[in-house]
Structure 1
Amino acid sequence: MDIDVFVAAHQHEWQRLDALCKRRGRLSGTEADELVALYQRAATHLSLVRSAAPDPALVGRLSALVAAGRSAVTGARSSGWRDAARYFTRSFPAALYRTSSWWMPTMLVCWVVAALAGWWVAENPHVQASLAAPEEIRQLTRPGGDFETYYSSEPAAAFATQVWVNNAWVAAQCLAFGAFLGIPVLYVLAVNILNVAASAGLMASVGRLDVFFGLILPHGLLELTVVFIAAGAGLRLGWTVIDPGPRPRARALAEEGRAAIGMVVGLGVVLLISGAIEGFVTPSGLPTWARVGIGVLAEVVFLVYVFVLGRRVAAQGELGDVEAADRTDVAPAAA
C-alpha cells in the first residue's frame, strides 16, 4: 500500500468525520447518518493501515479519529455496577468455560504427576534426605509439628490475606507468562505441584497422610483449581502465539490476551474465598469431615458456575472479551 496515495484518497473523509464529531449534538438526521457511515469507513481504514502498512503516525491519527467517532456515535459510557454484573455473569464464566479444554487436562496431568512424585518421596528415604535434614522432617511431620501449626501460625485474618496475595501472584504469573509461548507457566506449575507432592510424601512416610489431606483439602481443592485455570489460560495464550488460527496473529493475541488478563479479577475473588477458608476453616476446631465438606462444597459450586453458567453464555456467543463497544474495530478476516 502506498501511504501517500491512500491518505490523499481518504483525507477529505477524515476531515469531514472530524468536523462532524466536533459538532455532535447539533447534527441533522442526514448528518448523523453521514457520521455513522464515515466512522465505519474510518474504522476499516485503520484496520487496513495496521495490517498492510503500519505507519505509526497514521495509525495514531486514525486511532484518535476512530475513538472520537465511536464516542460521537455511541455516546460516552461510564463503568458501574452493570459492568461488574456483566463480568461475573457473562465474561468471566465464559472465559473459564472456553479455556476448560486447556485447564482440565492441565489439572489432570498435574494431579497424576503430584501423586507419582508424592509416592516416590514416601517410598525412598534417600529422596527424603535430599529434601531436608532428618530433624527438620521430624519437626515438620510429628503430631503438632510445623505442618499442622502452619495454618494457625498467625491470626486468621492476617493469614488469609497473606495466602490470598501469594496465590493471586502465582495465578497472575501463569496468565502473564503465557505470552512467552507458555514455557514459564510450566515452571511455575512444576514448582507449586512438586512442593505439594513433597509435603504429601513426607507426611505419608510417617503414616500421617490422613492429616495431610484433612488440612489440604478444605482450601486446596479450590485454590489449586484456580492455579490450574490460570496455567491453562496462559498455555492457551502461548499456543495462540504459535497458531492464531484464521485470525491475524496480532488480533488473536489481543483478543485472547484481553480475555486471559481479564480473568485476573475473577480468579482473585475466587482465591479470596479459598484464602478465607484456609485462614478460618482449615485451622478451626471443626471435625475433619466438616472442614473437608466445606472445601468440597466450594469446589462443586465453582464447577457448576463454570460448566453450567459458563457453558450457557459461551453458547450465546460470549467470548470472555470486553464488550464489543470497547474493542478496536477490525476488518473481517478470511477463514
Structure 2
Amino acid sequence: MKQEVFIARHAQEWATLERWLDRYEGSRRSSKSRLSPSEDGPTELEFPARYRRLCQQLAIASGRGYSPLVVNRLQALMERGHGVMYRPPAPRWRTVADYVLAGFPRLVRANARCMLLAALLLYVPMLSMIGAMQVYPELAHAFFSPAEQAQFEEMYDPTAAHVGRDREASGDMEMFGLYIWNNVSIGFRTFASGLVFGIGAIVVLVMNGVSIGAVAGHLQAIGYGAPFWKFVVGHSAFELTAVVICGGAGLRLGLALIAPGRQTRGRALVEAGVVGAQLAMGGFAMLVCAAFIEAFWSSNGALPAVVKYSVGAVLWSIVLFWLWRGGRGVVDAH
C-alpha cells in the first residue's frame, strides 16, 4: 500500500484519537473526573481496540519505511495512548460511583424500548384496576379473600400508629430485612422469567400491576386511600421504577431468544444476559433503597401528609432526572 493511500485511509481516525487524547489529558490536569467526548470519539470500552489498531498501523508504517513524519506522529500517539491504556485502575468506590451515577442510567436509556414496554405492562393494568375498583368495588372479592381484605384494611387504618404493616409486626429493622427479601425476590423473578422467551416477564409485570392496582383501588374505594398513598409515595419512586427496569431486563432476554438477528440464539442470549444482569443488579440496589425508605420513613403515620407528599415528589424527581440525564454526553476519564 502506498503511503498516500495509507494516510488517506487512516488520517480521520488519527485526528479523532488525537482530539480525544487532548481532552483526556486536559481533564486529568484540571482534576475532572469525567470527559466529554466528540460524537465520533472512542468510549472507554472502544479505546483498547483503537489503541491496538494504532499499534498495528505504527508497525506497518515502520516496516514499510514510510516518511518519518508519519512514523513519528504514530509513535507519539502510541506513547500517549499507552498512558491511558495502562493507567492505574481507579479506586473501587469510584468505579461503583461512576456506574451508579453515569453507567447505569446510560444502560437504561440504551434499552429504552424494553423499558417503555415494561412500564406499559406494569402501569396500564395498575391504573386500569384502580379505576375499575372505584366503579365496581365488588371486584375486590374476586381478587382477595375476606381475611386478606381485613388484613389490608387493618394495615391502612387511618388510626394505625404504623401504616402499612400488621399491628403485631416487628420493629423497623426487622421489617427492613423483610422488605429487602420481598422486593429483591420480586425483582429477580421479573428479570429471570424473561428466559421463557419474554413471556414470563410479561406475565409477572402484568400480574404485579393488577395486584398493586387492586389493593390501591380497594383501599381508595373504602375511604382508606389517604393512609395508603401517604405510605407508598415515598418508596414507590425506587420500587416501581426498579420493577420496570428488572422487567425491561427480562424482556431483553426474551427478545434475544425471539429475534437474535444474525447471531446464534446462544450468542445473542449471552450478550443480552450480560446487559440484563447489569440492569437487574442496578434494579436490585434500587429495591434495597426502597426497602430502607419503606421501613424507616413510609411506615411513620404521624408525619403530616404534606411532608410525605413533598418528600415523595422530590424522590420521584430525583429518580426520573437521574435516569434521564445521568451520564449523558460523558465517558469515564480515569
TM-score normalised by structure 2 residue count: 0.63
**Correspondences of 1:15-94 after superposition (within 5 Å):** 80-94=92-106
Q: State the alpha-carbon separation in 1 of the partners of residues 210 and 312 from structure 2.
A: 22
Q: Which residue of 2 aligns with 1:104?
A: 116
Q: State the alpha-carbon separation in 2 of the partners of residues 148 and 138 from structure 1.
A: 14
| CA deviations over 1:130-165 (Å, ceiling 9, x no partner) | 334557635533544699351773211221221122
SS at match of 1:157: helix
Contact kept? 1:221, 1:299, Cα under 8 Å: yes
Q: State the alpha-carbon separation in 2 of the partners of residues 252 and 272 from structure 1.
A: 30
Q: State the alpha-carbon separation in 1 of the partners of residues 309 and 221 from structure 2.
A: 22
Deviates more, 1:139-148 or 1:275-284: 139-148
Q: State the alpha-carbon separation in 1 of the partners of residues 277 and 99 from structure 2.
A: 13
Q: Determine which of 294, 308, 319 is the counterpart of 1:291.
A: 308
| CA deviations over 1:27-76 (Å, ceiling 9, x no partner) | xxxxxx9xx99xxxxxxxxxxxxxxxxxxxxxxxxxxxxxxxxxxx9899
Q: Determine which of 205, 218, 239 is the counterpart of 1:202.
A: 218
Contact kept? 2:194, 2:252, Cα under 8 Å: yes
Q: Determine which of 159, 163, 169 is the counterpart of 1:148.
A: 163
Q: Which residue of 1 aligns with 2:140?
A: 128
- Structure 2 stretches of 5 or more lacking a match? 1-51, 57-84
Q: State the alpha-carbon separation in 1 of the partners of residues 277 and 138 from structure 2.
A: 42
| CA deviations over 1:282-323 (Å, ceiling 9, x no partner) | 12222122122222222221222221124435xx6x9xxxxx
Quick one: structure 1 residues 133 and 167, their matched pair in 2 at CA, closer, same or farther if it must change by over 3 Å? closer
- Structure 1 stretches of 5 or more lacking a match? 1-32, 38-72, 319-335
Deviates more, 1:144-153 or 1:259-268: 144-153
Q: Which residue of 2 aligns with 1:301?
A: 318
Contact kept? 1:185, 1:234, Cα under 8 Å: yes
Contact kept? 1:219, 1:275, Cα under 8 Å: yes
Contact kept? 2:140, 2:218, Cα under 8 Å: yes
Q: Which residue of 1 aligns with 2:17?
A: none
AA of the residue aligned to 1:117: M
Contact kept? 2:197, 2:258, Cα under 8 Å: yes
Compute the displacement of 1:277 (Å): 1.0
Asked if 1:164 is matched to 2:164, the reply is no
Q: Which residue of 1 aligns with 2:197?
A: 181
Compute the displacement of 1:225 (Å): 0.9
Compute the displacement of 1:281 (Å): 1.0
Q: Determine which of 92, 97, 119 is the counterpart of 2:131.
A: 119
How many aligned residue pairs are there?
A: 246
Compute the displacement of 1:238 (Å): 0.8
Q: State the alpha-carbon separation in 1 of the partners of residues 151 and 247 from structure 2.
A: 33
Deviates more, 1:232-241 or 1:101-110: 101-110
| CA deviations over 1:84-137 (Å, ceiling 9, x no partner) | 244324432222121222223421342221121123234335422333455763
Contact kept? 1:122, 1:128, Cα under 8 Å: no
